[in-house]
């Protein structure tokens, strides 16, 4: 989560006028709602998230909502502030959680995910990770522009139109997680162990989302990729009796393990420093064939995965 104080500024721009501030609010939802009320009739609106940077003595400004502008979408009306952030692809917020979308997120945000030591599943299900991404400004902007340009070249409308659509999708997806977090609807393993929580969520219409949110919260405590891997794999021994709950649990476990082992930074961390690329590849081949020998200074996570693959 952001460490500095946060407020939200609402800006408006008449068709032939300049940007000017129309209000300041403490609530993200209230600011966006008010901005939508001000839009229309040729008036463009935007909401910027202003995060105080104590060490710098200024504010980090990130655009989180914009409506009514069809041109010059890449310009920030406030000179000297961080570039605008728009959004991501798909048709509705839930589509961002699909396997294909998570693969795209992993490619576009590879460096940031590696630096933060998280997977796309963790990012999408944890309010703190989403807020950190939102606050980076330029990282999300660059990713969205790449997608918007690719979609535009494929005949899916102009770049500006795609950016606007993607921006709304990301904003809506983030809002779901932020609202659930604010209303204490995101479960954790603090009150229930893995078995109890999966049984409790059995039959719930959002069981996958809620279980993944609990897992993302738990993995935040892990100090290394190998620790994350061992934590997730441990839950295989705690599967619920119900077939539907067990199936959901295994789907979530498989998703997190797959994303951890798909991240190059994670693989390097898990396998440790090898003398050559050949040695690293040999170790991976032995791992995925379940033939790793104990020792070699390997962590509990990779050894546990080796046993399940044997």
One-character DSSP codes across 8-65: EEEEEE-TTS--EEEEEES-HHHHHHHHHHH-BTTBEEEEEEEEEETTTTEEEEEEEE
Give the whole-number percent of the chain exceeding pLDDT 70.
Answer: 88
Q: Delimit the domains of the chain by residue range.
A: 6-67, 93-182, 194-309
Spell out the residues 6+ positions from residue 55 whose beta carbon is closer than 8 angstroms to its own: none
Asked if the model's pLDDT at residue 79 lies above 70, the reply is: no
Asked if the model's pLDDT at residue 216 lies above 90, the reply is: yes
**How high is the pLDDT of residue 295?**
63
Asked if the model's pLDDT at residue 151 lies above 80, the reply is: no
> Which of 2-16, 97-111, 157-171 shows the lowest per-residue confidence on average (mean pLDDT)?
2-16
Asked if the model's pLDDT at residue 84 lies above 60, the reply is: no
Among 202, 271, 261, 262, which residue's Cα sits nearest to residue 233? 261
More confident residue, 252 or 308: 252
> Taking residues 181-201, what's their average pLDDT?
92
Give the DSSP per-residue string, 204-222.
-TTHHHHHHHHHHHHHTT-
Give the whole-number percent of the chain exceeding pLDDT 90.
Answer: 38
> Taking residues 166-193, what's their average pLDDT?
90
Q: Are 82 and 62 in contact (CB under 8 A)?
A: yes
pLDDT grade for 87, boundaries at 50, 70 and 90:
very low
Asked if the model's pLDDT at residue 72 lies above 50, the reply is: no
Q: What is residue 149's DSSP assignment?
A: H
> Taking residues 42-61, what's their average pLDDT?
78
> Taking residues 135-146, what's their average pLDDT?
82
More confident residue, 67 or 89: 67
Asked if the model's pLDDT at residue 71 lies above 90, the reply is: no
> Which of 213-217, 227-231, 233-237, 298-302 shows the lowest per-residue confidence on average (mean pLDDT)?
298-302
**How high is the pLDDT of residue 288?**
84
> Taking residues 113-141, what's their average pLDDT?
92
- Where do we find the tokens 């501030």? 21
Q: Are 106 and 263 in contact (CB under 8 A)?
A: yes
pLDDT grade for 15, boundaries at 50, 70 and 90:
confident
**How high is the pLDDT of residue 239?**
96
pTM over 0.85: no
**How high is the pLDDT of residue 4?**
59
Which regions of the chain does DSSP assign to beta strands (E)? Answer: 6-13, 20-25, 44-53, 58-67
> Taking residues 209-221, what's their average pLDDT?
97
Spell out the residues 6+ positions from residue 72 whose beta carbon is closer than 8 angstroms to its own: none
pLDDT grade for 167, boundaries at 50, 70 and 90:
confident
**How high is the pLDDT of residue 116?**
95
């Amino acid at each position: 989560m952001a460490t500095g104080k946060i407020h939200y500024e609402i800006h408006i721009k008449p068709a032939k006028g300049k940007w000017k501030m129309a209000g300041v609010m403490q609530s993200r939802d209230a600011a966006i709602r008010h901005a939508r009320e001000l839009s229309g009739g040729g008036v463009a609106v935007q909401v910027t998230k202003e995060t105080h940077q104590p060490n710098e003595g200024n504010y980090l400004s990130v655009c989180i909502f914009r409506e009514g502008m069809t041109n010059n979408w890449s310009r920030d009306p406030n000179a000297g502030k961080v570039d605008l952030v728009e959004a991501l692809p798909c048709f509705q917020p839930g589509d961002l959680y699909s396997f294909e979308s998570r693969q795209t997120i992993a490619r576009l945000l590879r460096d940031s995910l590696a630096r933060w030591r998280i997977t796309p599943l963790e990012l999408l299900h944890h309010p703190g990770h989403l807020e950190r991404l939102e606050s980076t400004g330029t990282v999300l902007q660059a990713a969205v522009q790449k997608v918007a340009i690719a979609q535009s070249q494929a005949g899916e409308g102009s770049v500006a139109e795609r950016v606007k659509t993607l921006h709304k999708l990301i904003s809506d997806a983030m809002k779901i997680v932020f609202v659930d977090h604010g209303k204490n609807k995101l479960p954790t393993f603090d009150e229930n162990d893995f078995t109890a929580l999966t049984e409790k969520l059995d039959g719930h219409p959002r069981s996958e989302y809620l279980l993944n949110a609990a897992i993302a919260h738990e993995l935040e405590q892990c100090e290394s990729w190998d620790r994350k891997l061992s934590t997730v794999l441990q839950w295989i021994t705690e599967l619920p009796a119900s077939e539907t709950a067990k199936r959901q649990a295994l789907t979530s476990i498989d998703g997190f393990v797959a994303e951890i082992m798909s991240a190059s930074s994670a693989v390097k961390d898990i396998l440790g420093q090898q003398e050559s690329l050949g040695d690293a590849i040999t170790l991976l081949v032995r791992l995925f064939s379940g033939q790793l020998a104990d020792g070699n200074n390997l962590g509990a996570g990779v050894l546990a995965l080796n046993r399940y693959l044997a």
